[in-house]
Amino acid sequence: MTLHADRVRWNRGGALVVDGVTLTPRPGATVGLLGPNGSGKSSLLRLLSGTARPDDGTVTLDGTDLRALSRRSVARTVAVVGQHTHTDVDIRVRDVVRLGRIPHRGPLGSRPATDAAAVDAALAATGMTDKADRFWHSLSGGEQQRAHIARALAQEPRELLMDEPTNHLDIRHQLELLELVQRLPVTTVVALHDLNLAAAYCDEVVVMAAGRAVAAGPPAQVLTPELIGEVYGVRATVLVGEDGVPTVVLRPAAVSAPA
Amino acid sequence: MASVAGAITLGPAEVSLVNIRDVLLNHLGLTDVPVRAVKEAIVWEERLPRALTAAACGAGLGLCGAVLQALLHNPLADPFLLGISSGASTGAVVIGVLGLGGSVLGLSGGAFVGALVAFGLVLLLAGLSGGGTDRVILAGVAGTQFFAALTSFAIFAFADADETRGVMFWLLGSLEGVRWDDVLLCGVVVLVGGAWALRQSHALDAFAFGDDVADSLGIPVRRTRLVLLGVTALITATLVSIAGSIGFVGLVLPHAARFLVGPRHARLLPATVLIGAVFMVWVDAVSRVAFQPTPLPVGVGTALVGVPAFVLILLRRRRVA
């Protein structure tokens, strides 16, 4: 069992941002959410994390409706890395990562040894160990992003929800991050803009347009020139490598393809 | 403790540390050392309750400031942000100038009721407009302005010169004439409220990156914020009703404490409480003696003493960073 969305709809301030989406990630799989801006990727992630509640349909964790679970028990299983999360607080990286231990506090407080081990492991996994004592504001955008991911890993989640985590990362760190996510023994749902990253690292992709899931399946089946043209309004050529991983080459719609 | 004792020695009548020790031990029933009645009265009836109330005010206001700055993600939040001080002043003016229900409530009771009414209206407005942190702050600003205007209007329209001066002095903050029951009230409220806030220190940490991150860390955001806003409102309303609106402490001391011990609330809250208590005891002592025999309103003293101290911390901090 896992985190599961069943025909969820969300009417957000008069706009139907998620319209009847069903999502059932396989345990341990990496699922990419694709689609243009405003297609409902972030909104779907908010429904999955329980930060927002669907108007219709249900999100369940191991078969239990999220609404019936306390926020804390959800947070012990589901971790979230969102977009645009900044702070005015003068906080060190290690303390940011340590926030991930909050849901694991017992009634008598925290367990320092377990917490420290989880924090160290999360820092190591994201390559942030040598920056643990730096102040948040002294980090680059990419390092801040990695610190957030370390914070999510310190939560020791079984399900990881990420909203465009490769934003602000240079290409090497984009690849490293997704390799890390793929390697982790967690189920990951990750919103991505880059179709090639999705093709290379996701076991499955779900393509969204106007709040609906218009296609789902392995990247090699889903990412066709027809679908990309329909959803994004651009021309694309899809090359399939020897390893079966598709590569998408984009061309502007207005320019005709060479004969 | 040392600050309280030291501060008690300051004042027009000479009191030595030995006197203080004797008075204290006598009252605790441990010794029976003869102390002159005048000194006994000055220490036990006047300076000790006053110093302890000052300590409670500094501790409580600092605590509320630290909590609100975390809850509202705003480094400029202070205990009076949510209309509490201006509501209190309106309440006090209604009692003091208009004489409504004065015999039952007194100036302090009026202030307490006014503070809670203002806070309730601000929360209602914030809730009706969506309930986000920015809405809470905007509602607080609106409430503060409205009740300040009401206060000015009542003074302008109905008060004579003496009443105006009395209310003005009270508004600026004063620890004149506090009694032991004030000490007890302040102390209990600050201790209970402080213990409550400390239990929630991990939740306050979780707010550092905003509501969504706090939510994903398992904090029930709206409930936690509402309860903690209520706790700070009760503490602040109690302190304001006894000592008037003492500015600066709640806004700046949490920052000073953050410079010293970092942003984790399990350490920050106790540090703020301690710094606030010590700071207020000394400011009050200095305010008492600086312009003898006229006491300086302690709210004026906090800023006059506190701003230079804060500037020093800022400058030192810049060199370290």
Residue A166's contacts (CB-CB under 8 Å, 6 or more residues apart) are A173, A174, A177, A178, A192, A193, A194, A197
State mean pLDDT over B244-261: 85
**Per-residue pLDDT tens over the stretch B183-225:** 888 899 999 999 999 999 999 999 989 888 999 999 998 899 8
Is A107 within 8 Å of chain B by CB?
no
Taking the Cβ of residue A85 and every Cβ of chain B, the question of whether any pair is shorter than 8 Å is answered with yes
Chain pair A-B, CB pairs under 8 angstroms: 75
Higher-pLDDT residue of A108, A227: A227
Q: Alpha carbon of B130 to those of A189, B84, B224: distances in Å? A: 30, 21, 16
Which among A117-126, B71-80, B238-247, B288-297 has the top mean pLDDT? A117-126
By DSSP bridging, strand A212-217 and strand A56-61 are unpaired
Contact (Cβ atoms closer than 8 angstroms) between residue A36 and residue A43 = no
A72-81, A250-259, B251-260, B308-317: lowest mean pLDDT where?
A: A250-259
pLDDT at B270: 94
Taking alpha carbons only, the member of A245, A253, A102, A250 closest to residue A182 is: A245
Chain A partners of B258 at a C-beta cutoff of 8 Å? 90
Q: Do A146 and A125 form a contact (C-beta atoms < 8 A)?
A: no
User: What is the pLDDT, as a whole number, of residue A191?
Assistant: 94
pLDDT tens track for B98-130:
666 555 567 778 888 888 899 899 988 888 887
Q: What residue type is assigned to position B197 of the chain?
A: A
- The whole-number pLDDT of residue A47 equals 93
Give the range of the structural domain holding residue B278, as residue numbers without chain letter.
2-243+250-320
**B215–A82 C-beta distance less than 8 A:** no
Task: Look at residue A101 in the predicted model and tell me its pLDDT.
Answer: 92
Distance CA A98, CA A94 (A): 6
Q: A121 lies in a domain?
A: yes
Helix (H, G, I), strand (E, B) or coil at A165: coil
Task: Please count the CA atoms within 13 angstroms of the CA of A105 that sit on its side-chain side.
Answer: 19
For tokens 């201006």, name the residue: B86
Q: How confident is the model at residue A89 (pLDDT cuts 50, 70, 90)?
A: confident
Q: What is the pLDDT of residue A20?
A: 87
Residue pair A216/A233 in contact by the 8 Å Cβ criterion: no
Which of A71, A90, A110 is facing B218, going by the closest CB pair?
A71
> A82 lies in a domain?
yes
Does residue A257 fall inside a structural domain?
no
The token pair that represents A212 in the structure block: 């609906």
Which residues in chain A have Cβ-Cβ distances shorter than 8 Å to B215? 49-51, 71
Question: Between A189 and B155, whose confidence is greater?
Answer: A189
Give the tokens for residue A130.
């040598």
| Contacts of residue B54, Cβ cutoff 8 Å, sequence gap at least 6 | B7, B175, B243, B277, B280, B281, B283, B284, B298
Section A219-248 average pLDDT:
87
pLDDT at A202 over 80: yes
The pLDDT tens digits for B4-17 are 666 666 655 666 77
pLDDT value of residue B192 = 94
The pLDDT of residue A120: 93
The enclosing domain of A69 has a CATH number of 3.40.50.300
Q: Band of the pLDDT at A259, cuts 50, 70, 90?
A: very low
Q: 10 Å Cβ neighbour count for B98?
A: 15
> A88 with B75: CB under 8 angstroms?
yes
Rg over CA atoms, chain A: 19
The domain that contains B148 carries what CATH number?
1.10.3470.10
pLDDT at B319 exceeding the cut of 60: no
CB of B60 closer than 8 Å to CB of B191: no
Contacts (Cβ under 8 Å, ≥6 apart) of B58: B249, B253, B275, B276, B277, B278, B279, B280, B281, B283
The answer to whether A71 contacts B209, with C-beta atoms less than 8 Å apart, is no
CA within 13 Å, CB half, A240: 9
Beta-carbon contacts of B321 under 8 Å, excluding residues fewer than 6 positions away, are: none
Question: Which element (helix H / strand E) includes A32?
Answer: strand A30-34
Distance CA B116, CA B114 (A): 6
Chain-wide mean pLDDT for chain A? Answer: 87
Residue B42 pLDDT > 80? no
Host domain of residue A33? 3-217
Q: d(Cα B235, Cα B186) in Å, to the nearest integer? A: 8
**Which pLDDT value is given to residue A253?**
57
Residue A59 has pLDDT above 50, yes or no: yes
Average pLDDT over residues B223-246: 87
Q: State residue B99's pLDDT score.
A: 67
SS3 assignment, position A43: helix
For residue A136, which of A150, A155, A156, A153 has the smallest C-alpha distance?
Answer: A150
d(CA A3, CA B67): 34
- The mean-pLDDT minimum among A13-22, A227-236, B133-142, B312-321 falls in B312-321
Cα separation, A221 vs B67, in Å, equals 52
H runs (alpha helix) in B43-101: 48-71, 84-96
Q: Is B316 helix (H, G, I), strand (E, B) or coil?
A: helix
What integer pLDDT is reported at residue B242 of this predicted model?
Answer: 84
Lowest average pLDDT, out of A9-13, A147-151, B73-77, B311-315, goes to B311-315
Confidence of residue B321 (pLDDT cuts 50, 70, 90): very low
Percentage of chain B modeled with pLDDT above 90: 19
Closest CB to A75: pick one of B202, B212, B217.
B217
Q: Which of A21, A18, A19, A17 is nearest to A7 (CA)?
A: A21
Q: Average pLDDT of A49-70?
A: 90
The 10s digit of each residue's pLDDT in A237-253 is 888 888 878 888 887 65
- From the list A195, A184, A181, the residue with the least C-alpha distance to A229 is A195
Domain contains A238: no
Instruction: Give DSSP secondary structure letters for A84-114.
Output: S---SS--BHHHHHHGGGGGG-BTTB--HHH
Q: Cβ–Cβ of A99/B215 closer than 8 Å?
A: no
**Residue A162 parent element (H or E):** strand A159-163
Provide the total of helices (H) and of strands (E) in chain B, helices listed first: 15, 0
Q: Which amino acid type is present at position A92?
A: R
With beta carbons under 8 A apart, name residues in chain B contacting A102: 202-203, 205-206, 217-219
| Residue keyed to tokens 């006491």 | B295
Q: Which residues in chain B touch residue A74, judged by CB atoms under 8 angstroms apart?
A: 218
Q: How far apart are CA A247 and CA A241, in angstroms?
A: 7
Work out the percent of chain A whose per-residue pLDDT is above 90.
36
CB atoms B219 and A86 under 8 Å: no
Mean residue pLDDT across chain B: 82
Residues of chain A found within 8 Å of residue B208, distances taken between Cβ atoms: 87, 89, 91, 96, 99
- Predicted pLDDT at A16: 87
Asked if residues A55 and A251 have their Cβ atoms less than 8 Å apart, the reply is no
Identify which has the larger pLDDT, B62 or B78.
Answer: B62
B184: tokens are 């007890």
Predicted confidence at residue B27, as pLDDT, reads 74
Residue identified by tokens 């709210």 is B299
State whether A75 and B75 contact (CB < 8 Å).
Answer: no
Q: How many domains does one find in chain A?
A: 1
Q: What is the distance between the alpha carbons of residues B274 and B253, in angstroms, rounded to a whole number?
A: 10
